[in-house]
Amino acid sequence: MTYQNNITITPQLVADHGLKPDEFDKIVALIGRQPNYTELGIFSAMWNEHCSYKSSKKWLKTLPTSGPRVIQGPGENAGVVDIGDGQAIVFKMESHNHPSFIEPYQGAGTGMGGILRDVFTMGARPVAAMNALRFGSPDHEKTRHLVSGVVAGIGGYGNAFGVPTVGGEVEFDERYNGNILVNAFAAGLADTDKIFYSKAEGVGLPVVYLGAKTGRDGVGGATMASAEFGDDIEEKRPTVQVGDPFTEKRLLEACLELMATGAVIAIQDMGAAGLTCSAVEMGAKGDLGIELNLDMVPVRETAMTPYEMMLSESQERMLMVLHPEKEAEARAVFVKWELDFATVGKTTDDLRFRVMWQGEEVANLPIKELGDEAPEYDRPWMASAPPAPLAAGDVPQMDVADALLKLIGGHQSASRRWVYEQYDTLIQGNSLQRPGGDAGVIRVEGHETKGLAFSSDVTPRYCEADPYEGGKQAVAECWRNLTATGAEPLAATDNLNFGNPERPEIMGQLVGAIKGIGEACLALDFPIVSGNVSLYNETNGRGILPTPTIGGVGLLPDWSQMARIGFAAANQVILLVGAPANRGTHLGQSIYLRDLFGRKDGPAPHVDLAHERRTGDFVRKLIRSGVVTACHDLSDGGLGLGLAEMAVASGIGATVTDLTDQDPILQYFGEDQGRYLVTVNLDPQGDDLAALWKEAESLGIFAPWIGTTGGETLVLGAARPVAVAALKSAHEGWFPSYMDGKAA
């Protein structure tokens, strides 16, 4: 086989690799000559947006990433946070948007596979997963197909791998019609003294390839090959990767077994840009060169070229640097699990990334510069003007009971049971709260009382109206959801999904959202420890709604004190903690306006971070004192929907008294931030409740008694009582009926 490595690099070929002319000039200046074909491929893989963060790096640097519990912030495969007792939680969220749109089952499945690998690469056994999914309008012709394929793909991979899905999001909006979002989160547990990193150490040590064989899948997925290569084009077809959860499960067990032998010096999973990215990262971080011999790479297709091997995105593969004296022991572990184990290279002291193939050197590049010298842009950006406030008195009216039934049975708020019942939510036997509540909760295996809470949040319509407030709100809502279980929020991961950053208004959204996220993380002591940026999410020049998904982790010292959203019993006092004097006031960007009146106007709700912090800390303290019998934070649909969800979760009704001098629509459907519904088992006239109010007042928190639980109906003031059974039937009905082909 002949391989034309030293071809002329034309401007067209450079463009086909997604590199700009000035970026190519930079490459030539860096290496002092024209790159060959393999080298061009390697540069394109390392310098694309996905690997280099070239548009977002400047802004990502502003995020708070450290804290007393943070062991590892961004820059590794996943973030690592101390949870005490010598244990750490290792987590990250990552997008697989484009592949999931092209081939939903495999795209979503391999997204799951990638994020799980990020976690167990660090020595952690995955214990929880979440998925934040955003689809186009329910009435768009492709939506059902995509929902069905993505959900089956996530289930097919995660269920076989054996990790419980504990939470997530599913939303619909026409702005995702041509570009859905599949953001996968995974978290794993590890011992703090047994975390594994990608930084290689030591010269002349074996670089070992583990896991599945290399095929042509994913080659050129990011960097389309040139048509000028005629005969080659068939071989370089971009294909969506195909997932193999059985191999992933074996890879997990084999890696953890191998790590326990003490053989591993450094480890990196082969994700985007496969062998290239993992080898460069391990060498560059350790100030070492890497020499690879591609003849040793296990392949599953014949006649693969060096270019294809270096750019393949075949799944379920790992690269490690091992202690040479333990190589035999390491090999035995992989033989046991029937996985490939091949020494494919060695570390060197010359800081070069050298690739050998059939006795020929097909690439020789400076390893540090490949990663560190990637272009970094300060792209022009433009802040969008926030929408004008709604006119005074602009409160479109609808019967409160009718509105409630429509909202709880609408696409935004209907139960996601159809989705999460396709995921294994209880495997591992530690799931304390499964999807459907404010946050998923698991117990920490091996610990008597400790639990971990997980939540994934963002309100894209708020981010569109006001990226800064929307960014703040995404963090605050995640923090609030964790708090509502009684957990102390520890840290978060961000998955920033935006349109084309080369357009100043889109870049402005990214900048605004990051500013908001940073400010909220700082105010709430909720650092960002890992993340992923997905740009260019747009079709025909129209970007998606800006969607900075926040995945957060919280710690419960004693899960027996944890709160749930369902009303626990009748005759519980319902408090609206964190309420403004008028309970609810803000209708701009609410689902009441959007889904019942087709209006997307008004400003996003403001998040008062100091008030958010005080209120959350107060609610958490109440929960931990044992006085709280149920808790739910308010978000979409406001107070009305919050009460309805608590009733539906338990089958117990409630009666709430109207505030006489405020429009019921604002009271029940306003989406003011920083509010929790809390039920307590206290005498409304008693001293304990008086003391609670006194404390709240001293903290500047308004916590009015708005009603009492009990009965089989939900009574919102003067509105027609609604049977809890009717709410439940509306809530449960929409998703299955929609997926069966009935009207959206």
Partner 1 sequence: MKSAVIVFPGLNRDRDMIAALTKVSGTAPATVWHQDADIPDVDLIVIPGGFSYGDYLRCGAIAARSPIMDKVRAHAARGGKVLGVCNGFQILIEAGLLPGALMRNMSLKFVCREVKLEVVNADTDFTRGYTKGEVFRCPVAHHDGNFFADSDTIARLEGDGRVAFRYAEGTNPNGSINDIAGIFNEQKNVLGLMPHPENLIEAAHGGDDGRALFAGLLGKAA
**Binding stretches for partner 1 (CB under 8 A):** 152, 155-156, 159-162, 244-247, 249-250, 336-338, 420-430, 432, 443, 559-560
Whole-angstrom distance, CA of residue 554 vs CA of residue 495: 18
Torsion of CA 261, 266, 271, 274, to 10 degrees: -110
Whole-angstrom distance, CA of residue 311 vs CA of residue 309: 6
Token pair, residue 293, equals 């011999």
50 is catalytic: yes
Beta strand segments in 647-696, E: 654-656, 676-680
447 is catalytic: no
User: Given 17, 50, 586, 731, which residue is catalytic?
Assistant: 50
Question: H or E stretch including 492?
Answer: strand 488-497
CA nearest 510: which of 375, 379, 374? 379
R_g (Cα) of the chain, nearest Å: 27
Phi, psi dihedral angles at 381 (to 5 degrees): -140, 160
Phi, psi dihedral angles at 688 (to 5 degrees): -65, -45
Token pair, residue 113, equals 């596979």
**Residue 92: partners with Cβ closer than 8 Å, 6 or more residues away:** 77, 78, 79, 115, 118, 119, 185, 186, 493, 530, 531, 532
Phi, psi dihedral angles at 48 (to 5 degrees): -75, 170
Token pair, residue 543, equals 């970007």
Whole-angstrom distance, CA of residue 142 vs CA of residue 128: 30
Whole-angstrom distance, CA of residue 551 vs CA of residue 168: 9
CA nearest 223: which of 376, 497, 2, 38? 38
Which single residue is written with the structure tokens 């020499």?
291
On whether the CB atoms of residues 456 and 93 are closer than 8 A, the answer is yes
Instruction: Give how far Cα 58 sits from Cα of 19, 26, 53, 274, 712, Å.
Output: 20, 19, 9, 25, 55
DSSP 436-449: TSSSEEEE-TT-SS
On whether the CB atoms of residues 111 and 243 are closer than 8 A, the answer is no
Question: Which CB atom, from 210 or from 696, has the smaller least distance to partner 1?
Answer: 210
Residue 234, burial from CB neighbour count under 10 angstroms (0-12, 13-18, 19+): exposed
Token pair, residue 609, equals 């971070």
Phi, psi dihedral angles at 177 (to 5 degrees): -50, -45
Q: What is the largest CA-CA distance in the chain?
A: 88
The set of catalytic residues is 50, 96
